Chain A
């Protein structure tokens, strides 16, 4: 699936940020994903308030040296992957 730009991604029930040996992780049933740099910036914004469009805009500013279209594609792929793992809902 490709996330709708106007939807509001939010961590699914039972998915939350955690920390282990100074490493931020996304905790979920039976697994934990390491979060670094961009992935952490994205997940922190999956709060049900930001739209996908806003997340893309904010990350394009943070990573202003990267090609904006590439930032958008990467974010959409990452959100779709988290959704497949049932770590995200789109409202």
Chain B
């Protein structure tokens, strides 16, 4: 008999996708292609109970995200509920539906950390990527934050169209009160997968960017923590996606489904429990979806006997499905994967077409659900 892998004691962080509604239409949005409407969103009371259960289960941090979490009119109550449940409260926002009064209310309710997302360092590229005019408002938010005692992270999602503008992005971070700046290369799921060939940087762009970011890390040491994520298509080994399936993180969708990662719903045959029906700890420990890729029993070769299997856990299950057609396969970005050839072909195509700043690509924009 094959034993069931035991669940890690508790998730460390709860990613609370409060809504899919968002005034931005970013071409790499991590939300699923099928967006949920407001009418189906969890109520304030249910979220408050989920936060309470998370605190009791030993979760340390809550990431309030979306869509745009500020699109929830009850956001102040939700922050208060998460904080009083003992959680460290992060808000991941575009800063769009915000004014100074509302910002003060969020902080008074117990917000610990505000992560402001940027689509670039200039209005033009930000508007192209988000399909809306939002950059000037973000700059206003940065000004308001300077006089308030709260941790601030700037998050730049980077890709072929803006990866050559890192110096300007760093300058923006340095002129702000941020103690942390994140440069996250796009990861290719959902909307980003649909726009992939327009987003994937070239090898030369990537090499230049890493050089810039490494030197910025040195220069800004003690002032701003500079963190970055490279696109795993260019990596030799896969990323330990979400720190391993069902090992560290739990995500709850706007309608209450509990997932091991943002994209898990694309994997056929998985049934996800809903927080309206069952408690968070019970879902973590016993849900078949969380059990599915825990441990090593599900692994194929070369993962099954690989020395790195406890470091990267075979990489990303969703990427295995998207690129190899099998969620149990070795992540195709791994240089040891039998399907690595597919990734090489994608990279080769990206490098055969040099980036042209003047020609705006034919983007597929995400809509704003009702």
Q: Which residues from chain A sit less than 8 Å from chain B, CB to CB?
A: 1, 12-16, 18-21, 25, 27-30, 32, 83-86
Contacts and interface: CB of A to CB of B under 8 A. Distances in A.
Given A27-B88, A32-B88, A86-B224, A15 B151 contact: yes
B112 A27 contact: yes
B12 interface: yes
A16 B112 CA distance: 9
A17 to B, nearest CB: 11
Contacts of B113: 14, 28-30
Contact of A28 (B10, B149, B151): B151
B338 interface: no
A29 B180 contact: yes
B interface majority secondary structure: loop
A13 B112 CA distance: 8
Top 9 A-B pairs ranked by shortest CB distance?
A: A14-B151, A86-B179, A27-B88, A29-B113, A14-B113, A13-B149, A29-B151, A14-B112, A13-B151
A29 B112 CA distance: 8
Contacts, number: 60
Contacts of A83: 222
Interface of B: 9-10, 12, 58, 60-61, 86, 88, 90, 112-113, 115, 149-153, 179-180, 221-225
Contact of B225 (A19, A27, A32, A86): A86
B179 A12 contact: yes
Contacts of B180: 29-30, 86
A19 B58 CA distance: 9
Given A83-B222, A85-B225, A32 B153 contact: no
A13 B151 CA distance: 5
Nearest to B180: A29
Interface centre among A13, A18, A19, A28 (most CB of B within 10 A): A13
A85 to B, nearest CB: 7
B151 A21 contact: no
Contacts of B61: 27, 30, 32
A14 B179 CA distance: 10
A21 B58 contact: yes
B60 A32 contact: yes
Contact of B60 (A15, A25, A86): A25
Nearest to B114: A14
Nearest to B177: A13
20 contacts: A1-B222, A12-B151, A14-B112, A14-B150, A14-B152, A14-B179, A15-B151, A18-B88, A21-B9, A25-B60, A29-B90, A29-B113, A29-B115, A29-B151, A29-B179, A30-B113, A30-B180, A32-B12, A86-B180, A86-B225
